[in-house]
Structure 1
């Protein structure tokens, strides 16, 4: 590069820098003040889950026979709105899922054996005396929402009653 080109480039850089600096300056920025700066702080209210009348729960089941939650926590007497989503693509006949909340002390193996006989009823046994709440049986891409009152304090079992699923698709429903 020759000397005149270098001078031109340097001159352009000097002009550009001056323009940038002058564009960023304002009258306000040159004024110094000792006045306190006011800032707005938004208040967030933390709601105690125990004081909520209703709790919304989303539970997802997939084609690998898995729920995305193994524990669900609620409070005694709360209205529970539970949505079960089948995030897979397989049809109900081969990979149907549901959510069944059982009463304390229910024998899971015995319940599953009875449920397996109830295909026409979505694998919900005719005797529902051990069931607190349940969704319908759904296939890939489907959802079902149920609403029920949380039972008394304690730990309850939930499961998918489709034959063979409960060994992997189960969890604890903790009522505080």
Structure 2
């Protein structure tokens, strides 16, 4: 084979292989990970603690309108349940929280949630004594600010109130 033919053949092979060689020598980079997506319809879950200090922690919860929400209320107390229990009562916008709490204070048979107040409440949990947890589920209402309170006697009056902020 003449020298120029051999050179032409080698150049053709080199040009044919150069893209493959370039890819083989290119630094390997990991593909960008996709941002994790929340499962469609999955509930937003929160654990709220309530103790002898008559405070909810956290006292502010943020969700989006239409979210499915699960609140687990965890009571922390060494006192007997008859003396110290808590609930989570989410009120509709504009409701008089003091009136709901006052009406509930005598409603022992219905976990201190007065049947007269049902129309003013979005969701209410059962009572939790020290070391117990209770869960309440609801769909977040329209955008706005909503109070949640404890209706066990005198707890709201002692400052046991929080806020659900719906965006």
**Which runs of at least 4 in structure 1 moved beyond 3 Å after TM superposition?**
35-42
What is the match of residue 91 of structure 1?
Answer: 80
What is the match of residue 173 of structure 1?
Answer: 164
Shift of 1:53: 4.5
Shift of 1:63: 2.1
What is the match of residue 112 of structure 2?
Answer: 123
Deviations 1:105-163 (A, max 9, x none): 11122111101111221110012111100110110000011211111111111011111
What is the match of residue 149 of structure 1?
Answer: 139
Aligned-residue RMSD, C-alpha: 2.3
What TM-score do the two structures reach when normalised by structure 1? 0.71
Moved more, 51-60 or 156-165: 51-60
Is 1:54 aligned with 2:43? yes
Structure 2: unaligned runs, 5 residues or longer: 1-24
Shift of 1:41: 7.4
Structure 1: unaligned runs, 5 residues or longer: 1-34
What is the match of residue 79 of structure 1?
Answer: 68
Where is the strand percentage greater, Structure 1 or Structure 2?
2
Q: Secondary structure at the match of 1:109?
A: helix
